[in-house]
Amino acid sequence: MGSAKIDKLGKIGFVFSGGSMRGAFQAGALEVVWKQGIHPHYVFGVSVGALNASAAALGKANELIDVWENIDRKDVYRFPVLKKMQRGILFSASLFENDPLIDLMLKFSKKDPKKFRTLQEKEEAIGRALTQGGVTPFGVVATNWQLGQPEVFTNYDQRVLDEPALLAKAIRASGSIPLFFPLVDIGEYQYGDGNAKYFNTLRPAVEAGCDTIIFFHITHSSRPINRYAKMIDVALRVVEMNVALYKEDKDLLNEALSLRESPSGNFQILLNKIKKIRGKDVRLVTIKPSVALPDVGFKATGNFDKNDIRLLIEEGRKAANETLGRENLLII
């Protein structure tokens, strides 16, 4: 019976949205989906979702839980004081460095970061792990800062197969909030935050021909109005608004913002439009929080409270069980 249910889903795509340290919610949700025997044919992610998607592509759902339960600020970013003092903060590429994320990714592959001497060696190791045989087709969205457009890097692109380290660079770039984290050089261009266009993570899954898309979406659609009391929160909001406006026309911006606020409704409208082009349905299963999630991580000025992380993981498990039950996809 369970196998028959899964077969009816056709080609399955997993899509992981961005959302900073709230990515722990996705880890809990992925664990539940994985235990139900629902495994993807394609996986795509953006920002923190790219990190979680890479673990899903490697089949490391359980390891992902362990990584999140033990995560700390130093695993995500660092502030090189001496380097900033020498150059001056205003002349630095960013306030913080996010290369520790590379060490975090190495843990998915059970590799010791200390065995690698340089960042390039680490990126090559991650790239090779994600492009080897048996790994689920995987893609990450990063924004080309010169062109102002999102770009998808996949482990089946010829350019990535020729230079696997590009995939690790793209994952790091996808979560690089401008000003706070450095842009990442890939070829002749610089890449940054993949969330510059809010709805783009679904499109690669649709273009890959997925019949069912399971969307691990972090934002609670009825979240309270944000109050910006801290300088860092105000600065982040300025960056967020300017990135969204960069090279966007008014209609596209309105569509993107509406999709971000109400994913289950507006994304389905978008998929209905795609149906007319493809001639068949695309089933969207959105796993999202039922309540507003706690602030953790960078946006919460360094809050990496273990209890908050565990709460996020549990909320993910709860939301996944409720969603799969509602969609008649619970098997065990």
Per-residue pLDDT at 241:
56
Q: Is residue 92 part of a domain?
A: yes
pLDDT of 147 > 90? The answer is no
| Average pLDDT over every residue of 152-178 | 91
Other residues' Cβ atoms within 10 Å of the Cβ of residue 1: 5
The single residue of 20, 47, 94, 176 carrying the catalytic annotation is 47
Per-residue pLDDT at 247:
38
Range of weakest confidence among 24-28, 174-178, 258-262, 325-329: 258-262
d(CA 198, CA 221): 14
Give me 232's structure tokens.
């860092």
Specify the DSSP class assigned to residue 3: H
- The DSSP annotation for 287-306 comes to E--SSPPPP-BGGGTSB--H
Higher local confidence (pLDDT), 88 or 38: 38
Distances (CA, A) of 291 to 26, 221, 257, 311: 14, 9, 20, 12
Count of structural domains, the chain: 1
Give me 92's structure tokens.
């630095």
Per-residue pLDDT at 248:
40
pLDDT tens digit sequence for 226-258: 566 666 666 666 655 554 444 343 444 344 444
CATH number reported for the structural domain that contains residue 118 in this entry: 3.40.1090
d(CA 326, CA 67): 29
Per-residue pLDDT at 255:
46
Per-residue pLDDT at 56:
95
Question: How much of the chain exceeds pLDDT 70, in percent?
Answer: 68
Q: Is residue 52 part of a domain?
A: yes
pLDDT of 134 > 90? The answer is no
**Own/partner long-range contacts of 55-60 (Cβ < 8 Å, ≥24 apart):** 55/30, 55/108, 56/14, 56/16, 56/30, 56/136, 56/138, 57/130, 57/135, 57/136, 57/137, 57/138, 57/155, 58/108, 58/109, 58/129, 58/130, 58/135, 58/136, 59/136, 60/108
Higher local confidence (pLDDT), 165 or 219: 165
Range of the domain at 183: 1-227+280-327
Q: Is residue 242 part of a domain?
A: no
d(CA 234, CA 155): 36
Residue among 274, 105, 289 at smallest CA distance from 205: 274
Q: Is residue 264 part of a domain?
A: no
d(CA 34, CA 61): 7
Q: Is residue 155 part of a domain?
A: yes
The single residue of 17, 174, 193, 308 carrying the catalytic annotation is 193
Q: Is residue 102 part of a domain?
A: yes
Q: Is residue 142 part of a domain?
A: yes
Q: Name the residue with tokens 């706070």.
A: 180
Range of weakest confidence among 39-43, 248-252, 267-271: 248-252
Higher local confidence (pLDDT), 257 or 62: 62
Catalytic site residue 47? yes
d(CA 296, CA 304): 6
Catalytic site residue 262? no
- Using a cut of 0.85, tell me whether the model's pTM lies above it: no
Residue among 298, 318, 195 at smallest CA distance from 246: 195
Per-residue pLDDT at 150:
87
Q: Is residue 319 part of a domain?
A: yes
Range of weakest confidence among 45-49, 91-95, 128-132, 169-173: 91-95
**Is the separation of the CB atoms in 239 and 178 below 8 Å?**
yes
| SS3 category, 89 | helix
Per-residue pLDDT at 329:
86
Task: For residue 16, give the H/E element and its range.
Answer: strand 12-16
pLDDT of 29 > 90? The answer is yes
Q: What is the mean pLDDT of the chain?
A: 77
**Nearby residues of 83 by Cβ (< 8 Å), 6 or more positions away:** 92
Other residues' Cβ atoms within 10 Å of the Cβ of residue 250: 8
